[in-house]
Amino acid sequence: DLPSIRSCSLWYDGTNNTMNNSLEMMEKKKHVVVVVLGDIGRSPRMQYHTLSLLEHGHYVTLIGYVGERLIPALEKSTSDDDNTHSSTATATATKKYHQNLRVLRMKPHLPSKLNNITGRLFYYPLRLISLMYCLFYTLWIQLQDRTTISIPVDVILVQNPPSVPTLLLVYLYCVWEGLLGRKRPRFVIDWHNLGFTMFESPTQQTSFLRIIILT
């Protein structure tokens, strides 16, 4: 479990104790990556996990599909943050996230669900390849950009399901970071369903791949 961080006001009172406490508090901050292989906006459970981490002072990178907007506590308009309000009717609000939150949204290619034999044969492999590419690119390329959050990843929290390919790729990423001599992130799984549900057959029939996943 991540250590809780109490919120406090920082000021300088001429003593070293205050400065030491401030440095100690900064060292306790963690960078948590929350991974949802689905529409983030449709996963309130993981959004509230994210909000709880932010409220305890941690940095969070939220990864998932494009789609619905986030909860208001995570996503707000810049007009809400400005002290001065524009009087023009043409003023538009720009989307802005929590200051310690970075959001990386993926848009994988999902093949059409066909009921013929050829469609059933190629649907799952193509879908799996698309998901693997998007997640690989996000973890190994986009996550390495330290412009927004400069500290390395400490923990990766993954929603399960889907288990495939999320759990394997996230585990390999953690191992990869350790092999490079960096801090190896902790791997945490949020279990709330069975992993094979991702591979439900589009025709309600028991597919060969679903049988493999079940076993």
Dist CA 206 CA 77 (whole Å): 46
**Is the predicted pLDDT of residue 23 greater than 60, yes or no?**
no
How far, in Å, CA of 164 to CA of 179, rounded?
23
pLDDT at 38: 92
3-state helix, strand, coil in the chain (%, to 5): 40, 20, 40
In the predicted model, is pLDDT for residue 189 greater than 80?
yes
**Per-residue pLDDT tens for 190-204?**
987 655 554 454 444
By the 8 A CB rule, do 62 and 104 touch? yes
> With bands split at pLDDT 50, 70 and 90, how would you rate the model's confidence at 15?
very low
pTM assigned to the model: 0.71
- Beta-carbon contacts of 158 under 8 Å, excluding residues fewer than 6 positions away, are 35, 166, 167, 170, 187, 188, 189, 190
pLDDT tens column, 129-157: 999 999 999 999 999 988 888 899 999 99
**pLDDT at site 98:** 78
**Angle 204-135-194 from CA coordinates, rounded to 5°:** 40
CA count, 13 A, side-chain hemisphere, 131: 25
**How much is the mean pLDDT over the chain?**
75
Structure tokens at 106: 């993926």
Q: Which residues contact 44 (CB under 8 A, 6 or more apart)?
A: 71
| Mean pLDDT of the 20-43 span | 79
3-state secondary structure of 32: strand
**pLDDT: is 147 or 94 the higher one?**
147
The pLDDT of residue 163: 87
| Cα 167 from Cα 161, distance rounded (Å) | 9
The residue length of the chain stands at: 215
Per DSSP bridges, beta strands 95-97 and 75-77 are antiparallel
pLDDT of residue 81: 43
